[in-house]
Amino acid sequence: MKPRVVAIVPARMASSRFPGKPMAAIRGVPMIGHCYFRTAMAKTVEETYVATCDKEIFDYVRSVGGKAVMTADTHERCSDRTAEAMLKIEAETGKKIDIVAMVQGDEPMVRPEMIDDAVNLLLKDPSCPIACLMSVIESEAELEDPNCVKVVTDLEGRALYFSRETIPTRRKGAGSDFPRYRQVAIIPFRRDYLLRFNGLKPTPLEIAESVDLMRCLEHGDPVRMAVTAPTVGVDTPADLARAEAAMKNDPLISKYAAGAAAK
């Protein structure tokens, strides 16, 4: 049988770096609206939900015809919020989810094919428990930005390490023309692996790097990576301005903007 794939977009208003950012407008549409509607266009996804602990986000998504799930306000990680939402969706629909595609609510430039590319990594490899996307780092500022999570992979495209520091080294063989990649927060999990992941305690390198996916690597679980187009993840108001400029002529917006403006 065809695996059931559900996308979940976790979002909360209490961001330490940019409070209220899910409802910040980009091209007249709240950022969470861009994430929801663009994710729902993915061909591999059966249903899309927003998972939130904030009634403002919940009410907005429902007002524009979207699906939303209220979650606890105690979650510190997106994966915990996603897992709670996944179990609630299963209970409400009576249908088990095979793969949950977690698309963080601060990726307003996500494209449907990006989600399909990430999900297909799991569909094509039954042994793969989790996947993620990465894009080429295009500027020195991005390379030095601690909000930009860098990743290096092995020759088969499996993640070797994630860091907020510059990796690999710029010395010796890894010169200025060496390709460097950043994590793009589109992460499909197999259902049971998501529950396993959340059941594990944070690991030393995960804590040191402040990157959740290090927990997978420290437990010996492979993270399959695929290269995608550059995006602008929004962590700060300055990122929001960059996303606004980058999405000026985005053709996808016309497919949902009329029904996605905040009510």
- What are the boundaries of each domain within the chain? 5-229+251-257
Contact between residue 101 and residue 6 where contact means Cβ atoms under 8 Å apart: yes
What is the model's pLDDT at position 173? 59
The ranges of the chain with pLDDT < 50 are none
CA 183/CA 135 separation, integer angstroms:
7
Which ranges of the chain does DSSP label H, i.e. alpha helix?
31-40, 55-63, 78-93, 112-124, 140-144, 191-199, 204-209, 214-218, 237-246, 257-260
Cross-strand partners of 152: 161
101 has which bridge partners? 7, 188
pLDDT of residue 215: 97
From 256, 227, 33, 29, select the one nearest 135 (Cα to Cα). Answer: 227
pTM: 0.93
At residue 174, the pLDDT reads: 57
Residue 175 is predicted with a pLDDT of 57
Please give the pLDDT value at position 227. 96
5-229+251-257 has CATH 3.90.550.10 classification: yes
pLDDT at 263: 65
Q: Which of 65, 69, 114 minimizes the C-alpha distance to 258?
A: 65
What pLDDT score does 247 carry?
A: 94
